[in-house]
């Protein structure tokens, strides 16, 4: 039992995370929490979804339990399972069950990666029943008001086939997390990387150019995360062209033509 207390303690966010709001996401999420409604964060990678969840958890003073979904994720991984310990079967709560029991925020990152039979366990939790059947234990948990369910997905590259089922998505309030305006994104990059605002602005301009390359075969342009990494390299003394190459252009593509186009963009800006 003490173990669980300790585990939950570790999920509390003690210090205010730096988060620059991009729209009304905070007000809507606080209202969702107050009404027991789950939220769905849509947006490209590296645009601030995880950071927002950390900020929200801090604001609500609730522990944040994050699960990165993948195609092997089973119901047992989420809900829990019996493990043999000293010849005895001992029940271990999974992260979802732990969050429900303790009134935490459970954040299922990249939910569409998880198997369909796994995502169905969240259905009764996501609607107004707010219940979690722990079938293997024959237990039905009712979520306390403090429990919140949040899921994220990337509508850009995740295929329509892997898209969420309407019966799942229609239970959520959806928040659109696209990249913020040039000014705001530059403010984030300057603050997180510790670079001058003029450099931050140029990095954001570069990112915005790469985000326009969809038709040329670039599935996803440079994220805020990549810009921050490039900025941090510059702070460490790496010249800007190299920083852009290792932090931005090379991570984005292996295609020689695309890389040439990306390098050209870098040269036009720096």
Residues binding Mg ion (CB under 5 A): 50
Told to check if 51 binds ligand ADP by CB under 6 A, we report: yes
Alpha helices in 103-196 (DSSP H): 116-119, 123-126, 166-169, 182-193
Nearest approach, Cβ of residue 45 and Mg ion (Å): 7
| Residue least distant from ligand ADP (Cβ) | 48
Work out whether 13 is an interface residue with ligand ADP (CB under 6 A).
Answer: no
- At closest approach, how far in Å is the CB of 153 from Mg ion? 11
Residue 231 contacts ligand ADP per CB under 6 A = no
29 binds ligand ADP (CB under 6 A): no
Strand partners, 80: 93
Q: For the CB of residue 4, give the shortest distance to ligand ADP in the complex, in Å.
A: 27
Provide the sign of the torsion angle of the four alpha carbons 97, 49, 194, 206, taken in this order: positive
Q: Among 13, 39, 47, 114, which residue interacts with ligand ADP (rule: CB under 6 A)? A: 47
Note whether 110 binds ligand ADP by CB under 6 A: no
Half-sphere exposure of 163 (CA within 13 A, CB side): 10
Exactly one of 29, 37, 50, 75 binds ligand ADP (CB under 6 A); which one? 50
Binding flag, residue 56, ligand ADP (CB under 6 A): no
Q: Decide which of Mg ion, ligand ADP, none touches 231; Cβ closer than 5 to 8 Å per partner kind.
A: none
Using the rule CB under 6 A, give the single segment among 17-25, 78-86, 156-164, 235-243 that binds ligand ADP: 17-25
Q: Are strands 105-109 and 64-68 parallel, antiparallel or unpaired?
A: parallel
Q: Is 107 in the site for ligand ADP (CB under 6 A)?
A: no
Q: Which of 140, 136, 135, 172 is nearest to 153 (CA)?
A: 172
Q: How far is CA 73 from CA 8, 27, 78, 95, 108, in A?
A: 22, 32, 8, 12, 11
In angstroms, give the least distance from the CB of 14 to Mg ion.
20
Binders of ligand ADP in range 186-205 (CB under 6 A): 188, 192
> CB of 36: closest distance to ligand ADP in angstroms?
24
Rg (CA), the chain: 21
Angle in degrees, CA 159, 110, 121, rounded to 5: 100
CB 217 within 8 A of CB 210: no
CB atoms within 10 A of CB 157: 10
User: How big is the CA angle at 65 (ends 60 and 69), to the nearest 5 degrees?
Assistant: 130
Which region, judged by CB under 6 A, interacts with ligand ADP, from 41-49, 67-75, 98-106, 213-221?
41-49
CA distance 244 to 226: 9
Binding mask 169-188 for ligand ADP (x = CB under 6 A): -------------------x
Residue nearest to Mg ion (CB): 50
Contacts of 130 (CB under 8 A, 6+ apart): 36, 124, 142, 143, 147
Site for ligand ADP, rule CB under 6 A: 18-20, 22, 43, 45-51, 188, 192, 224-225, 228
């Amino acid at each position: 039992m003490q173990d669980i207390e300790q585990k939950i303690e570790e999920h509390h966010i003690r210090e205010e995370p730096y988060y620059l709001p991009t729209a009304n996401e905070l007000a809507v999420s606080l209202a969702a929490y107050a009404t027991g409604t789950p939220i769905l964060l849509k947006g490209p990678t590296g645009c601030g979804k995880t950071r927002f969840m950390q900020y929200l958890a801090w604001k609500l003073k609730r522990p944040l339990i994050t699960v990165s979904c993948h195609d092997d994720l089973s119901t047992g991984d989420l809900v829990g399972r019996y493990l043999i310990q000293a010849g005895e079967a001992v029940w271990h709560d999974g992260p979802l069950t732990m969050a429900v029991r303790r009134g935490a925020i459970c954040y299922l990152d990249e939910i569409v990666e998880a198997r369909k039979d796994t995502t169905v366990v969240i259905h009764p939790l996501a609607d107004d029943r707010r219940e979690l059947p722990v079938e293997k234990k024959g237990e039905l948990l009712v979520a306390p008001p403090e429990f919140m369910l949040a899921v994220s997905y990337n509508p850009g590259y995740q295929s329509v086939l892997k898209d969420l089922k309407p019966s799942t998505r229609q239970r959520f309030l959806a928040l659109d997390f696209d990249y913020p305006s040039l000014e705001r994104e530059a403010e984030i990059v300057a603050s997180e990387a510790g670079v001058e605002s003029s450099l931050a602005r140029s990095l954001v301009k570069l990112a915005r150019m790469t985000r326009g390359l969809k038709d040329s075969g670039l599935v996803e342009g440079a994220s805020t995360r990549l810009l921050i990494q490039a900025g941090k390299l510059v702070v460490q003394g790496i010249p800007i062209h190299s920083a852009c190459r290792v932090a931005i252009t090379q991570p984005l593509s292996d295609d020689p033509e695309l890389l040439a186009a990306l390098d050209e963009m870098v040269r036009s800006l720096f």
